[in-house]
Amino acid sequence: MVDRKADAKNRTSLDILVAGAGYVGLAAAVSLKQARPSLAVAVVDAAPAGVWQKDGRASAIAAAACRMLDQLGVWAEIAPEAQAITEMIVTDSRTSDPVRPVFLTFDGEVAPGEAFAHMVANRDLNGALRRRAEKLGIDIIEGVAVSAFDVNGAGITVHLADGATLKARLLIAADGVNSKLRDMAGIKTVKWEYGQSGIVCTVAHERPHNGRAEEHFLPAGPFATLPLKPDKDGTNRSSIVWVERSEDAEKLVDSDDLVFEHELEQRFGLKLGEIRVADRPRAWPLGLTLARAFVAPRIALAGDAAHGIHPIAGQGLNLGFKDVAALAEVVVEADRLGQDIGALDVLQRYQQWRRFDTLQMGITTDVLNRLFSNDIGPLRAVRDVGLGLVERLPRLKDFFIRQASGLSGDTPKLLKGEAI
């Protein structure tokens, strides 16, 4: 049996090295290798082997990203375990309010039979991309971080923490919102914290959700209930993304199980019958991080390394998939034309394509969070009128559905379900 990890380390030259074996990094590697089999592509990741299998979270995958995953040959494997979001409702209330009036509803289709989003277990998504990468012959080096790199004319030399050295024409940094490669490249960021944390957990409930997602705007932040596929025992489940002030979130996740479930029930309600927490809740701080540049000589940022936004619109991962689709299209086109795939003028095409859209989404989520995460009476009245107005204008609702599905604007081919 060939040891691909050892083989990758022993190579003197690659075309593309991807740093980060999350969904964005793996999708970037698969996209490029599938379109251009002649390219030598490898992935390096600092996380120990197998850590991804312990991730119990789930992610909302927009319709455009589903089309891309289908084009990459992994959606057929993921789809049986994915839960389509068939309906979305939005409320604006206080935790103590006896009734939560629904201000806005969305049907869950962008086309007949095509949901605008699916909920997918992170393990299923990561595993499918890994198996596809392996089938394409992409080497994945795990448990080793990039310690340094040197740009030298027509290439980049990447030094790994274990002493190994890899050479490539292009380095793709998909190593997360606290990207070390971004810092090594000298790319500055615009960054601030919200004083909020997102609590994530899975909830089991008595009655089926019927594919309905709910987002309740509460004074401390949004509380989202996202439908999941029933488990192997047929237990009904939903994923919770619960935003609270950071000090309160820390107390909640550290509290007794009964205290946590009581607070959860106050927000979740009893519409789906009795509920219980199915896994250990975790919290992480929320902020806005936008890279001032998406590229540097021989380096391109993708996913959270380029932008970390508030989860209020559920678009973080889908923005990352847009990066992948745009970058792959630019690099593949350059390679077909015989151009240098790591040259700055080539990479700047990717930056021009993605930078404004990312800035726009970052600003939008920032404004939405500031608008809805408060209990100011006059402001609540204005926003509720706004939600009601959207509810009464079908064309405006269709616009928001297209935005949420990732099918608006200058859409890369992969997100349309087309080959590059």
Q: Is residue 251 part of a domain?
A: no
CB atoms < 10 A from the CB of 138, how many? Answer: 25
pLDDT at 214: 95
pLDDT at 392: 80
Confidence of residue 402 (pLDDT cuts 50, 70, 90): confident
Question: Beta 295-296 vs 139-142: how paired, if at all?
Answer: unpaired
Q: pLDDT by residue (tens digit) across 161-194?
A: 999 999 999 999 999 999 999 999 999 999 999 9
pLDDT at 27: 98
Q: E strands of 153-263, at which residues?
A: 155-160, 165-168, 170-173, 189-205, 212-218, 221-228, 236-245
**How many independent structural domains does the chain possess?**
1
C-alpha distances (whole Å) from 198 to each of 38, 113, 185, 259, 281 are 42, 32, 30, 18, 10
For residue 233, give the nearest of 204, 275, 263, 197 by alpha carbon.
204
pLDDT at 99: 64
CB atoms < 10 A from the CB of 410, how many? Answer: 9
pLDDT at 179: 97
Q: pLDDT by residue (tens digit) across 43-80?
A: 999 999 999 999 989 999 999 999 999 999 999 999 99
CA distance 93 to 99: 8
Strands across the sheet containing 295-296: 139-142, 41-45, 16-19, 170-173, 299-301, 295-296
Q: Is residue 153 part of a domain?
A: yes
Q: Is residue 300 part of a domain?
A: yes
Lowest mean pLDDT among 21-25, 114-118, 405-409: 405-409
Span 264-271, mean pLDDT? Answer: 92
Crossing angle, helix 23-35 and helix 63-71, to 10 degrees? 50
Is residue 3 over pLDDT 50?
no
pLDDT at 95: 75
Mean confidence (pLDDT) of the chain: 92
Q: Is residue 40 part of a domain?
A: yes
Confidence of residue 11 (pLDDT cuts 50, 70, 90): low
CA distance 62 to 78: 14
Span 298-323, mean pLDDT? Answer: 94
C-alpha distances (whole Å) from 407 to each of 66, 111, 328 are 11, 11, 18
C-alpha distances (whole Å) from 342 to each of 62, 159, 173, 260, 266 are 30, 18, 13, 50, 53
- The CATH number linked to 323 is 3.50.50.60
CA distance 302 to 320: 6
Half-sphere exposure of 176 (CA within 13 A, CB side): 9
Range of the domain at 24: 14-83+119-191+288-375
Is residue 10 over pLDDT 70?
no
CA distance 349 to 330: 7
Is residue 6 over pLDDT 60?
no
Tokens of 223: 């509380």
* 8 Å CB contact between 303 and 22: yes
Is residue 2 over pLDDT 70?
no
Residue length, the chain?
420
Q: Is residue 348 part of a domain?
A: yes
CA distance 175 to 22: 8
Q: Is residue 151 part of a domain?
A: yes
Confidence of residue 195 (pLDDT cuts 50, 70, 90): very high
Exposed (0-12), middle (13-18) or buried (19+): which is 397, by Cβ within 10 Å? middle
Q: pLDDT by residue (tens digit) across 143-165?
A: 999 999 999 888 999 999 999 99
CA distance 294 to 302: 8
Q: Is residue 101 part of a domain?
A: no
Tokens of 51: 């850590």
Element (DSSP H or E) covering residue 308? strand 307-308
Q: Is residue 35 part of a domain?
A: yes
Tokens of 100: 């939560």
Residue 49 φ/ψ, nearest 5 degrees: -60, 135
Q: pLDDT by residue (tens digit) across 338-382?
A: 999 999 999 999 999 999 999 999 999 998 888 888 878 787 777
Q: pLDDT by residue (tens digit) across 207-234?
A: 999 999 999 999 999 999 999 999 999 9
Q: What number of helices (H) and strands (E) belong to the chain?
A: 12, 23
pLDDT at 98: 58
pLDDT at 258: 92
